[in-house]
């Protein structure tokens, strides 16, 4: 128990800025204001470190740190000490594999609008030093080789409506382009950046991850562009972190082989097995009962006539909270034993009820990294 409690204190101190010594075992997990994504990260850290899988609801209920530490101590396998973030073991991508449900949806959406860049996850950074092309290429290839989703392409057959995933040869799995922009103006550089961001991906032949390096006086500009079929924003952050670690001084000897990361395809296969088995059937039956009958749709006032709109362009409205509002919101969430997201969602529901006059309606919300 002491080791588990110390780990919890250290983790929560890093997440909240509190001093570990000031965090008592009697404190409720709900006191720390973690949102659902923060709770999910904690869940993965506990599983990777102690080998104990605690359901999200068991963490969202706000157990005390002492109770949580006792559970970890009692349920942890003897001698287990893993690496945070461990997951399904890497599996070879031998032969065509099915896409996940999310990948299938993205594929059909991209096919419906081939020119759309809505699923290009692009980000760029200035690098103060001049990067060596071969070192960047090596770092990219090592990173891609660790993640099976990054080294995949689509196999689309005219005889089948369902695409399949296939392993790409190393030369196709990673792409690095280098361009001399030392004499370009800032406007020319931004225009070149936009062209590269919008360049279509070849989903069948790959790669699904591209790097583009512009040489500039005093430093380089490095663009990472990932198609959403191969990852999400968390994936982008992970790739940047791994590239940074491999490009750091003293790590460029190229010796050794990068350890394979947890397999996305092993995870999707396990999820498919779960959903197509008794647990999946029970979950589907539960939600059918829970949502039957569905309330009527809320008729929201519109600022334009109804019509058919194609494409991914949409509008956005940004409203900033007043200074001090967020701490108050977090405090309310802690008092209610819930997350800031749940408080904001409740406020949004109240707003919709006021606009529509409805007391009962259906509202959906996105979820990510959930396994229950």
Interatomic CA distance for residues 266 and 100, integer angstroms: 11
Q: Which two tokens stand for residue 39?
A: 């709770």
The CB density around residue 260, as the number of other CB atoms within 10 Å, is 14
In angstroms, the CA 42 to CA 268 distance is: 22
User: What is the structure's pLDDT at 136?
Assistant: 94
Concatenated DSSP letters for 17-44?
---GGG--TT-BGGGG---HHHHHHHHH
Phi, psi of 58 (to 5 degrees): -70, -25
Sheet hosting strand 120-127, strand order edge to edge: 120-127, 219-227, 209-216, 175-180
Cβ atoms of residues 25 and 65 within 8 Å: yes
Residues 82, 86, 87: CA angle, nearest 5 degrees: 135
CA 216/CA 182 separation, integer angstroms: 4
List phi, psi (to 5°) of 365.
-140, 150
Chain mean position to CA 133: 29
DSSP-assigned beta bridge partners for residue 219:
216
pTM: 0.70
Query: What CATH class does 2-75 carry?
Result: mainly alpha
The domain defined by 97-261 folds into Chloramphenicol Acetyltransferase (3.30.559)
Note the pLDDT of residue 369: 53
Predicted pLDDT at 214: 97
> What's residue 85's pLDDT?
42
Kindly report the length of the chain: 372
Q: What is the DSSP letter of 320?
A: P
Cβ partners under 8 Å of residue 171, min gap 6? none
Question: Is there a contact between 177 and 186 (Cβ–Cβ < 8 Å)?
Answer: no
The structure tokens listed for 179 are: 């361009």
What's the pLDDT at 198?
95
Domain boundaries, the chain: 2-75, 97-261
With 0-12 / 13-18 / 19 or more C-beta atoms within 10 angstroms meaning exposed / middle / buried, residue 54 is middle
- Residues 301, 307, 312, CA angle at the centre, nearest 5°? 95
Task: Tell me which residue of 190, 210, 206 sits closest to 121, measured CA to CA.
Answer: 210
CA distances from 362 to 138, 139, 145, 288 (A): 50, 47, 43, 14
Q: What is the mean pLDDT of each run of 10 residues along the chain (372 residues)?
A: 87 88 91 82 84 84 91 77 44 67 88 90 92 93 88 75 78 90 96 96 89 94 95 90 87 57 77 82 89 83 67 74 86 84 91 90 73 55
| Helix extents (H) in 299-339 | 325-336
Report the alpha-carbon distance of residue 333 to residue 348 in Å, rounded: 15
Q: What is the pLDDT of residue 307?
A: 62
- Collapsed DSSP state (helix, strand, coil) of residue 232: coil
Helix H or strand E encompassing 65: helix 65-75
Q: Which helix (H) or strand (E) holds 241?
A: helix 233-247
Q: Is 214 helix (H, G, I), strand (E, B) or coil?
A: strand
């Amino acid at each position: 128990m002491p080791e588990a409690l110390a780990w919890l204190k250290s983790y929560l101190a890093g997440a909240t800025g509190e001093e570990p010594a000031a965090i008592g075992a009697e404190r409720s997990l709900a006191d720390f204001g973690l949102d659902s994504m923060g709770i999910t990260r904690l869940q993965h850290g506990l599983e990777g470190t102690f080998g104990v899988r605690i359901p999200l609801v068991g963490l969202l209920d706000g157990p005390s740190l002492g109770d949580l530490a006792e559970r970890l101590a009692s349920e942890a396998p003897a001698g287990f000490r893993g690496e945070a973030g461990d997951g399904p073991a890497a599996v070879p991508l031998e032969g065509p594999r099915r896409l996940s449900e999310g990948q299938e949806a993205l594929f059909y959406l991209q096919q419906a609008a081939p020119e759309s860049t809505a699923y290009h996850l692009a980000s760029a950074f200035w690098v103060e030093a001049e990067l060596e092309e071969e070192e960047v290429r090596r770092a990219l290839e090592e990173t891609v080789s660790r993640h099976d989703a990054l080294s995949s392409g689509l196999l689309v057959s005219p005889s089948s409506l369902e695409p399949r995933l296939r392993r790409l040869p190393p030369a196709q799995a990673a792409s690095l382009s280098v361009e001399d922009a030392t004499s370009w103006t800032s406007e020319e550089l931004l225009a070149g950046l936009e062209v590269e961001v919008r360049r279509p991906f070849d989903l069948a032949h790959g790669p699904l991850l591209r790097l583009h390096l512009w040489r500039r006086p005093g430093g380089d500009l490095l663009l990472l562009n990932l198609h959403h079929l191969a990852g999400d924003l968390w994936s982008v952050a992970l790739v940047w972190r791994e590239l940074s670690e491999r490009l750091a001084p003293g790590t460029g000897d190229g010796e050794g082989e990068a350890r394979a990361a947890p397999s996305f395809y092993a995870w999707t296969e396990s999820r498919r097995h779960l959903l197509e088995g008794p647990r999946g059937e029970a979950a589907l039956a539960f939600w059918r009962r829970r949502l039957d009958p569905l309330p009527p749709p809320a008729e929201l006032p519109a600022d334009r006539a109804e019509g058919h709109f194609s494409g991914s362009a949409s509008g956005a409205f940004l409203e900033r909270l007043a200074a001090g509002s967020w701490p108050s919101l977090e405090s309310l969430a802690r008092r209610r034993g819930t997350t800031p997201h749940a408080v904001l969602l409740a406020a949004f529901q109240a707003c919709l009820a006021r606009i529509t006059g409805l007391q009962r309606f259906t509202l959906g919300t996105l979820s990510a990294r959930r396994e229950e």
